[in-house]
Amino acid sequence: MAAMRTTNQPGDGRAETGGRQWARADATRKALLDAAQEIFADRGYADTGIAEIVERSGISVGSLYHHYGGKAGIYLALWEDYTAEQERQAALAVVRARKSGEIDPIALFIAGARAFLDVCWQQREASRLFQSGEGPSGFALMRRGRARQWIGQNSKLLRGHGSERAAQVLALVLTTVMGEAGREVAAAEDETEALEIIDEICRILIRLSQPA
């Protein structure tokens, strides 16, 4: 088995008060998340064992269960972090666009979409992980649910598209296109390619958003 670092070095942790303690636990969590992220990305969720996460992180099984309750928990924690950042950036971009005087709904939508895709590129490792489609049981549903909710909010911006069914299908298509676009962006070789793809997607979004 791999040698583990010794813990409880002199002056480290236990005897300290307040903040230092939290820092210790935070470091544990971070080590677990980092290791899990890498391994999940490498082998996929199903083929990753707790043992591997423990080995690579240097943290014990007990701690893993203490903080995350198991494999699914650690995966979901990673996902929460990722989506929170995406939503934050997208919302921020829309606000910024509005402040700078933009009022065209399509332009606002595109601003959000662009921010979303930017995060996909910046966090491409995580993107690749979550968009691979594998995850704990029922995760696909969760993911789809959140995606729909996201596009549902934004599709308020895009009214005037004929029948209700047309609006429904359009929203569906937009959700899907954004998801797949994110995957493609995350898989890009370099930033130039990523930006080209983002531009092209935005063009397609505009085409889709215009009444037929």
Partner DNA sequence: GTCTATAGTAAGATAGAC
Partner DNA sequence: GTCTATCTTACTATAGAC
Instruction: Using CB under 8 A, list all residues that contact a copy of itself.
Output: 44, 46-47, 132-134, 137-138, 140, 165-166, 169-170, 172-173, 175-177, 179-181, 184, 196-197, 200-201, 203-204, 207-208, 212
HEC per residue, the chain:
CCCCCCCCCCCCCCCCCCHHHHHHHHHHHHHHHHHHHHHHHHHCCCCCCHHHHHHHHCCCHHHHHHHHCCHHHHHHHHHHHHHHHHHHHHHHHHHHHHHCCCCCHHHHHHHHHHHHHHHHHHCHHHHHHHHCCCCCCCHHHHHHHHHHHHHHHHHHHHCCCCCHHHHHHHHHHHHHHHHHHHHHHHCCCCHHHHHHHHHHHHHHHHHHHCCC
Provide the mask over 46-85, with x wherever binding to DNA is found by CB under 7 A and - wherever it is not.
--xxxx------xxxxxx-xxx-xxxx-------------
140 is a contact residue toward DNA (CB under 7 A): no
Asked if 25 is part of the footprint of DNA (rule: CB under 7 A), the reply reads yes
Q: Is 169 in the site for DNA (CB under 7 A)?
A: no
| 80, interface contact from DNA, a copy of itself, none, CB < 5-8 Å by kind | none
- Which entry of a copy of itself, DNA, none binds 165, CB below 5 to 8 A by partner kind? a copy of itself
x/- map, 30-49, DNA, by CB under 7 A: ------------------xx
Q: Closer to a copy of itself at the Cβ: 28 or 209?
A: 209
